[in-house]
Chain A
Amino acid sequence: MVATATSEVVDERTEAADGVQPMIRMRGISKRFGGVVALDDVDLDAYAEEVLAIVGDNGAGKSTLIKILTGVYQPTQGSMTLDGQPFSMFSHSDAIAAGVDAVYQNLAIADHLTPAENLFLGAELSRSFLGIQWLDNRRMKKIATDTLRDRLGVQLKNMDVLTESLSGGQRQAVAIARAVRHENLRVLVMDEPTAALGPQETARTLELIKTLRQQGLAVIVISHSLDDVFEISDRIHVQRRGRCAGVVRTADTTTEEVLSLIVGAETHE
């Protein structure tokens, strides 16, 4: 029963989201590292107000794909558009400037700084006094508190503690807040957002992702947890051995079907 579904669902991807123009459109993306082909002719569409999950085995090319999307790697072949405009970048900061940011698995957070200091790390607000640029800690703290509360619905008891004393979910929220603080953020990529979290923290993070979708972002989530994927995603993009093995609507599919796409067990030649 699973086998028959495979060929049909692949065709479904371009019809998703009622023919609306995708926020991100990747076409024919290939990436080779020397002789190793990490990605081979992959297409990917992500829409605003949508959560797209990318699943696949280790080495299926998920990480390479999002690193290309966020400007960390440049593709060997292929093209991308962002909101209909041709889109190419040479660094991660190019991607951030264009409105594409990522929250990585290791969170890229400095434990010995407060949440507000982490939110503004590398982009601090300052005031000039006596010819010296002094950090405007009060304003940064206020904006950080507002961003966490208004965008993510997270209120920390105490904004003055070091980030190391926060829970995994709160650290996650700080990392997400750093990305959404940018006014022009349109695409947020999240690499294994729930991997290091307990059940309660996971539930909260999934709620956060839904909140971000409501705010109109195109959210791309890489996850190994199919439970999480089925709870939050609208569509699932399955990677296998560097190729796209299929894109399915979450509502129309089952865990078994996605699993069979991941392992490629039931394909008929």
Chain B
Amino acid sequence: MIDTSPEVPVKGMTLTQRLEPYVSFIGPMAMIIAILLFMAIVEPARYFRTSNLNQILLDAALYMPMAMAMTFVITQRGIDLSIGSVAALSGICMAFLMKQYGFSAPIAVAIALILGALMGLVNGLVITRLKVPDLIGTLAMDLVYRGIALVIAKGLVLARFPELITEIGRGQSLVYLPTPVIIGLVTMIVGYLVLTRTHFGRYTIAIGSNPEASTMTGIDVDRHKVYAYVFMGTMAALAGVMLTGKLNAIQATSAPYFNLHVIAAVVVGGTSLFGGRASILGSLAGVLLLSMMINALVTLRIEFFWQSVASGAVIILSVALYTWLQKKDRDGSSGMAGILGSARLSRTYKLAGAILGALALLMTIGLIFAGNTGPSG
């Protein structure tokens, strides 16, 4: 128990307090390690090939910018369900600018990002000015943006883009890591700096933590909400550009489940859906976890459709875990670190064990089913 009285000397942080900010990171890391162990036993040769690990990073990179921005949106007690359509529409517009109107690649990319920002601005204004709840507002705008993309592209698949676009999507000319991974990691670092070192980041946490107090201290809550959605839209457009480059093709129905995948990654990473609790590092871990899990399912030759079962299960389990931890939190122990160091330790471990067990069970079931489909090269 911390004491207010002046005679208590100022002590350094204990180990558990130092660990506190990383607790959200440890959760997904534990799951990642569980997947690694499982795959090391079941399918080491194929899973741990360099080309496969590269593939995991490539898949994860696409979601990194969006997960970073979504961390801000969710921390402000918001949500953005329109990001898939924003990515598709930005990609379609960029493709048309280059293919039909002869724009150079850099300018087309810049315009795509600006379009994404504008779409985010519309989302933000719908939520703050028209007072439409974020869930409904962005869901409706998802339909609008997807519709516009279909109107523009009809059923066309636009393919074959300049080198800059494919470099952004799947190139490897910078360093050892693929270019999109570099882009994803850079956006994560920028997101971390914005969250911890700028007014916008500070107000994002304050607004999610206590909107009334934020208003009282003179923070323009609506304005900062709009900023978060503009940020989100821009990052979704960046993902649209990366997706276009990765596939070297884009169509109006691309990126259908970006929203749920990204929200899952952010929530798995420990950012609270109830606002105020943000973890950029956790979001990065969440993105990696989902990519590794999906890749594991593919490597095990489990039917594609099981992916969505697994993703859904992971979301439910993580939210349940964090809600449970936070309830414990309110019950009196100090912070999540307090729980790790408390007498309830064994129960926490049991729960974590149960989650990992469920994950393993899920994969085993998948493996059994996969036996029926038969291996294919």
Query: Which residues of A pack against B, CB within 8 Å?
Result: 92-93, 106-113, 117, 121-124, 126, 132-135, 137, 149, 153-158, 160-162, 164-167, 169-170, 173, 201, 204
Extra pairs beyond A156-B4, A157-B11 (10, CB < 8 Å): A93-B218, A106-B212, A108-B210, A109-B213, A155-B4, A157-B8, A158-B11, A167-B4, A170-B2, A204-B5
The 10 closest A-B pairs by CB, nearest first: A122-B217, A112-B276, A110-B209, A108-B213, A112-B209, A165-B334, A122-B218, A110-B206, A110-B210, A121-B217
* Residues of chain B lying within 8 A (CB to CB) of residue A173: 4
Option from A117, A161, A166, A170 in Cβ contact (under 8 Å) with B17:
A161
* Residues of chain B lying within 8 A (CB to CB) of residue A112: 205-206, 208-209, 276-277
B202 and A117 form a contact (CB under 8 A): yes
Option from B5, B17, B198, B205 in Cβ contact (under 8 Å) with A113:
B205
* Residues of chain A lying within 8 A (CB to CB) of residue B217: 108, 121-123
16 residue pairs A–B, Cβ–Cβ below 8 Å: A108-B213, A110-B209, A110-B214, A110-B276, A111-B209, A111-B276, A112-B208, A113-B209, A124-B202, A133-B199, A154-B4, A154-B6, A167-B2, A170-B4, A173-B4, A204-B4
From residue A33, how far is it (CB to closest CB) to chain B in Å?
Answer: 21
* Residues of chain A lying within 8 A (CB to CB) of residue B276: 110-112
Contact pattern, B 160-180, Cβ under 8 Å of A = 1, otherwise 0: 000000000000000000000
Option from B3, B210, B213 in Cβ contact (under 8 Å) with A157:
B3
A166 and B2 form a contact (CB under 8 A): yes
From residue B21, how far is it (CB to closest CB) to chain A in Å?
Answer: 9
From residue A54, how far is it (CB to closest CB) to chain B in Å?
Answer: 21
* Residues of chain B lying within 8 A (CB to CB) of residue A137: 196-197
Known contacts: A112-B208, A165-B334. The answer to whether A155 contacts B214 by CB under 8 A is no
* Residues of chain A lying within 8 A (CB to CB) of residue B213: 106-110, 121
A153 and B6 form a contact (CB under 8 A): yes
* Residues of chain A lying within 8 A (CB to CB) of residue B212: 106, 108
* Residues of chain B lying within 8 A (CB to CB) of residue A93: 218
> In whole angstroms, what is the CA distance A90 to B171 when docked?
59
Cβ < 8 Å to A, chain B residues 321-354: 329, 334-335, 338
Known contacts: A93-B218, A122-B217, A158-B13. The answer to whether A113 contacts B4 by CB under 8 A is no
**B219 interfacial by beta-carbon distance below 8 Å:** yes
From residue A259, how far is it (CB to closest CB) to chain B in Å?
Answer: 32
* Residues of chain A lying within 8 A (CB to CB) of residue B209: 110-113
> In whole angstroms, what is the CA distance A164 to B333 when docked?
11
A155 and B6 form a contact (CB under 8 A): yes
Interface size on B, residues (CB 8 A): 35
From residue A69, how far is it (CB to closest CB) to chain B in Å?
Answer: 16
Determine chain A's interface SS by DSSP, over half rule.
loop
* Residues of chain A lying within 8 A (CB to CB) of residue B214: 110, 121-122
- Inter-chain contact total with CB atoms closer than 8 Å: 107
From residue A198, how far is it (CB to closest CB) to chain B in Å?
Answer: 12
A165 and B335 form a contact (CB under 8 A): yes
From residue A112, how far is it (CB to closest CB) to chain B in Å?
Answer: 4
From residue B7, how far is it (CB to closest CB) to chain A in Å?
Answer: 9
Residue of B13, B217, B277 ringed by the most chain A CB atoms within 10 A:
B217
> In whole angstroms, what is the CA distance A156 to B10 when docked?
7
Option from B8, B198, B218, B334 in Cβ contact (under 8 Å) with A132:
B198
Contact pattern, B 2-27, Cβ under 8 Å of A = 1, otherwise 0: 11111010110100010010000000
* Residues of chain B lying within 8 A (CB to CB) of residue A132: 198
> In whole angstroms, what is the CA distance A168 to B2 when docked?
11
**B216 interfacial by beta-carbon distance below 8 Å:** yes
> In whole angstroms, what is the CA distance A165 to B206 when docked?
16
Residue of B nearest to A93 (CB): B218
Option from A113, A155, A158 in Cβ contact (under 8 Å) with B206:
A113
* Residues of chain B lying within 8 A (CB to CB) of residue A201: 4
Known contacts: A111-B276, A121-B217. The answer to whether A160 contacts B13 by CB under 8 A is yes
* Residues of chain B lying within 8 A (CB to CB) of residue A108: 210, 212-213, 216-217
Option from A126, A158, A169 in Cβ contact (under 8 Å) with B4:
A169
* Residues of chain B lying within 8 A (CB to CB) of residue A133: 198-199
* Residues of chain A lying within 8 A (CB to CB) of residue B334: 161, 165
> In whole angstroms, what is the CA distance A157 to B214 when docked?
26
> In whole angstroms, what is the CA distance A109 to B209 when docked?
9
* Residues of chain A lying within 8 A (CB to CB) of residue B196: 135, 137
> In whole angstroms, what is the CA distance A154 to B10 when docked?
11
A110 and B199 form a contact (CB under 8 A): no
From residue B14, how far is it (CB to closest CB) to chain A in Å?
Answer: 9
Contact pattern, B 44-81, Cβ under 8 Å of A = 1, otherwise 0: 00000000000000000000000000000000000000
> In whole angstroms, what is the CA distance A113 to B203 when docked?
10
> In whole angstroms, what is the CA distance A77 to B206 when docked?
37
A135 and B197 form a contact (CB under 8 A): yes
Option from B8, B197, B216, B329 in Cβ contact (under 8 Å) with A92:
B216
> In whole angstroms, what is the CA distance A110 to B221 when docked?
14
> In whole angstroms, what is the CA distance A152 to B6 when docked?
9
> In whole angstroms, what is the CA distance A132 to B212 when docked?
28
B335 and A134 form a contact (CB under 8 A): no
A135 and B335 form a contact (CB under 8 A): no
B6 and A161 form a contact (CB under 8 A): no
A156 and B2 form a contact (CB under 8 A): yes
